[in-house]
Amino acid sequence: MKFTFVLTFLLFLGFSGLQAQNKFSAKILDATTSKPLFGANTSVEGTNLGATANEEGSILITKIPNGPQVIIFSFLGYTSQFLNLNFPLEEEMTFEIRLEPKGEEME
């Protein structure tokens, strides 16, 4: 019984090391002014992973699962964008995302 527990524990440790440790970084900017969008939201569709842009518009999301993922960028008053990526990425890079302001609606 003790051997089974130890073996199970060791297998768990081994598989936990194989879990995806993918990272995604981006800078989110206003498409018109090129100013950073402080507070813009980024999330990985279908997960609880996400980040909020800092004062420079930068975000970092870690522990993204391997395989195809949809990254969603949104900010109040702007049109959301969706980016389809396949993790792991071939190279680490910081993506530049430019969100378009929504036009004012006329009555």
Q: What is the pLDDT of residue 7?
A: 44
β-pair type (58-64, 22-30): antiparallel
Supply the pLDDT for residue 103: 83
- pLDDT tens digits along 23-77: 999 999 999 999 999 999 999 999 999 999 999 999 999 999 999 999 999 999 9
Nearest to 41, CA basis, from 86, 85, 99: 99
Does 104 have pLDDT greater than 90? no
Higher-confidence position of 68 and 107: 68
Mean pLDDT of 13-24: 66
- Please tell me the predicted confidence (pLDDT) of residue 6: 46
Note the pTM of the prediction, 2 decimals: 0.79
